[in-house]
Amino acid sequence: MLETISFAQRQRLAYIDFCLLFKGAIYRQDLISKFEVGLSAGSRDFSLYKELAPSNLQYDAKEKRYFQTEGFVPLFEHDARKTLVKLANDISDGFDAIGDIQFPVESASSLNVPDIFVVAKLVQAIVNNKAVSVIYTSLSSGSNARELVPHSIVDNGQRWHVRAYDRKTSSFRDFVLTRISKVTLKATPDMSETVSNDIQWQRKISLELVPHPKNIQHPTAIELDYGMQNGVLKVPVRAAMAGYLLRRWNVDCTKHASLRTGEYQLWLRNQMLLTDIDNLAIAPGYIGEQTQYG
């Protein structure tokens, strides 16, 4: 039946499906405002969606919105990589579910594709301010149950993580999405477990990157590559994300620019800035405290 309806209506149905999957609920007004349709048209869309997937949603008359049911099965196929990019950029149109325009763009992190239902549950927890119970498989301890309070999903350039408060260690950490399974929503967390108390996430720093003083013979080329001003590129970044950026760009983080192989074209000039930042075991050449990596 989906093939017989107009593309515009399929897009609206995909949006309903998207919101139910990733937010757990949707107001009728959300659809009307998003697509600038009338009340009657919006009502017809919800009626058609319920006809096509009667077990996917239920209406709460008190809250005046539709909620995802326990037996929810997506009506459309939502691509995990596209969805994560859209979530990261606050785009929630469900458009990829009905065949949006294909661009010749590939991602270097294409090998790391998380389970879409794991992502959906974590996004629901973030949007609705909930804790989650998960099974997490770590390199150090294998598979174990963890209780997390997630607040952000992060692309480190290689793979996707969720930033969350970990009740096991009483600290904020990063957890690789592909290592998470069996996500269950739990009660609202304490204020001490929420993003406002994630000091490393809230703190903003400015990394000063310069052409590597020992590996680069013609620094002007690097200055042009990175659009440096007066030979310096100042990069604002959350403290919690600094290690990922430095590794992704192969930035020499030693005090005296001592990494001499060719892949290190940049040097961190203000290396002393990292002394009180967690999660830097992955920063090239940096020797500091133990990483806070899940």
Give residue for tokens 């290190």. Answer: 264
Residue 97: predicted pLDDT: 61
SS3 assignment, position 292: coil
Q: Are residues 92 and 123 in the same domain?
A: no
Domain membership of residue 290 (yes or no) is no
269: left (phi over 0), alpha (psi -120 to 50) or beta: alpha
> What's the CATH code of the domain at 46?
1.10.10
Structure letter (DSSP) for residue 76: S
Q: Are residues 180 and 222 in the same domain?
A: no
122 alpha carbon, distance to own chain's centre: 10
Amino acid, res. 242: A
Q: Are residues 93 and 6 in the same domain?
A: yes
Instruction: Give me the chain's average pLDDT, please.
Output: 88
Domain membership of residue 288 (yes or no) is no
Among 155, 180, 197, where does a domain finish?
A: 197
The 10s digit of each residue's pLDDT in 154-189 is 888 778 899 999 999 999 999 999 999 999 999 989
Among 197, 223, 243, where does a domain finish?
A: 197
**In terms of residue numbers, what domain contains 270?**
200-274
Domain membership of residue 255 (yes or no) is yes
Q: Are residues 162 and 212 in the same domain?
A: no
Q: Are residues 6 and 94 in the same domain?
A: yes
Provide φ and ψ at 42, rounded to 5°. -65, -40
Q: What is the mean pLDDT of residues 252-259?
A: 94
Q: Is the pLDDT of residue 98 over 60?
A: no
Residue 111: predicted pLDDT: 56
Among 35, 65, 98, where does a domain finish?
A: 98
The 10s digit of each residue's pLDDT in 32-89 is 998 999 999 999 999 999 999 999 999 999 999 999 999 999 999 887 777 787 776 6
Q: Are residues 173 and 205 in the same domain?
A: no
SS3 assignment, position 293: strand
Domain membership of residue 279 (yes or no) is no
CA dihedral 56, 59, 64, 70 (to 10 degrees): -50
Q: Are residues 126 and 175 in the same domain?
A: yes
pLDDT band at 293 (very low <50, low <70, confident <90, very high): very low
Domain membership of residue 289 (yes or no) is no
Domain membership of residue 232 (yes or no) is yes
Q: Are residues 192 and 253 in the same domain?
A: no
- Cβ contact 158:143 at 8 Å: no
Domain membership of residue 42 (yes or no) is yes
Q: Are residues 247 and 193 in the same domain?
A: no
- Cβ contact 223:211 at 8 Å: yes
> CA 148, CA 172: separation in Å to the nearest integer?
9
Domain membership of residue 148 (yes or no) is yes
Q: Is the pLDDT of residue 239 over 70?
A: yes
Q: Are residues 180 and 265 in the same domain?
A: no
Looking at the 3D structure of the chain, how many domains does it have?
Answer: 3
